[in-house]
Amino acid sequence: MKKNLIWSWFWIILSLLYFFVPLILTFVFSLQTLKDQFSFISYQRVFEDRGFIRSLIFSTEIGIVTIFLSLALMIPTVYWVRLKAPRIRPVIEFISLLPFVIPAIVLVFGLIRVFSGGLLPLTNTHLGTNFLLVAAYVVIGFPYLYRSIDAGMGAIDVVTLTEAAQSLGANWFTIMFRVIIPNLRAAIFSATFLTLAIVMGEFTVATFLVGLKSFGPYLWQVNQNRAYEGSALVIVSFLITWAFMGLIVLVGRGAGASDAAGPR
């Protein structure tokens, strides 16, 4: 028993070191812009750089549009599959795994090849390119979003709740917006923040479609040219991601109680 406990602690401490040592060292390095003293100058420079704010805002906007489009596609689809076609769930699950199998570089070259000419020359305009970026992110975020929404629907027995609402006179619109979506709050928030975190850090697709306008390529460029600011930017992007994760946990806790449906 005691031996097991020692080994447990050993692995916990090893994992924590593996995770935190590079992060702490990066943080320490980011404070060493001035010789022989610690300062936050690199952070000041990061925040003063217009490219940082511009790319952060651009990626956030793309992320928000991606989230809305993904949710608009995914919630009705997952709902309908659970309600009317539960047999095709394995097929949807398989499709949801495809973005893991197809590399982002293949996806972005495919998009550029198809949409740089022909009937839909989307890459000719900024709006078109941005739309392609969103479309690519919808595909990349599909596995996370699908799993989260599907698990959320599994937890509330959508079939019975739908039938209960129908027997009380509700139409599809009412059922969706007053019964199903409010009970998926935790799942939707977790899917939302995961998608946003992915969009903020994505590099490959963004580089080929919009370049430095996006946060991922901007982060890479800063790392290449300015070492201290690059480290500061890594810490900042970590903090942003953690803030999202923290929000997921908070919202999950808040909604967890009200998600407890079914017999007790």
Partner 1 sequence: MAYLTLTDISKQFGETFAVQDFNLDVEKGEFVSFLGPSGCGKTTTLRMVAGFELPTGGQITINGADITNKAPNQRNVGMVFQAYALFPNMSVSQNIGFGLRIRKEPESAIKERVEEMIRLIHLEKHIDKYPYQLSGGQQQRVSLARALANRPQVLLLDEPLSALDAKIRVSLRSEIRAIQKTLGITAIFVTHDQEEALSISDRIVVMNEGRIEQVGTPFQIYNFPETQFVANFVGSLNTATAEIADPEQGLLHMDGVQLSTAEKLIGLQKGDKVRIAIRPERFSFASEQKKANVVDCTVENITFLGSVVRIHLLIGNTKFHMDTFNYPSLELPKIGDKTQVTCSLRAVMILGQA
Cβ at position 35, least distance to partner 1 in Å:
58
Signed CA dihedral, 241, 243, 244, 249: sign only? positive
What value, to the nearest 5°, has the Cα angle with vertex 190 and ends 185 and 195?
A: 125
| Closest CB to partner 1 among residues 145, 184 | 184
| Closest CB to partner 1 among residues 164, 239 | 164
| Closest CB to partner 1 among residues 53, 168 | 168
In our burial notation (b when 16+ CB lie closer than 10 A, e otherwise), range 227-262 reads: ebbbbbbbbbbeebbeebeeebeebeeebeeebeee
Report the distance separating Cα 97 and Cα 92, nearest Å.
9
- Cβ-defined contacts of 242-250 (< 8 Å, 24+): 244/193, 244/194, 244/196, 244/197, 245/193, 245/197, 247/189, 247/193, 248/189, 248/190, 248/193, 248/194
Cβ atoms of residues 62 and 54 within 8 Å = no
Query: Which among 187, 161, 190 has a CA at the least distance from the CA of 176?
Result: 161
| Closest CB to partner 1 among residues 118, 169 | 169
Report the distance separating Cα 9 and Cα 11, nearest Å.
5
Query: Which among 144, 129, 154 has a CA at the least distance from the CA of 58?
Result: 129
Cβ at position 34, least distance to partner 1 in Å:
54
Cβ atoms of residues 40 and 33 within 8 Å = no
| Closest CB to partner 1 among residues 174, 221 | 174
Query: Which among 47, 33, 15, 11 has a CA at the least distance from the CA of 239?
Result: 47
Cβ at position 6, least distance to partner 1 in Å:
40
| Closest CB to partner 1 among residues 161, 240 | 161
Report the distance separating Cα 5 and Cα 51, nearest Å.
49
Cβ at position 64, least distance to partner 1 in Å:
24
Cβ at position 255, least distance to partner 1 in Å:
9
| Closest CB to partner 1 among residues 134, 149 | 149
Cβ at position 248, least distance to partner 1 in Å:
19
Cβ at position 179, least distance to partner 1 in Å:
6
Give the residues lining the site for partner 1 (CB under 8 A). 156-157, 160-161, 163-171, 174, 179, 182-183, 185, 257-264
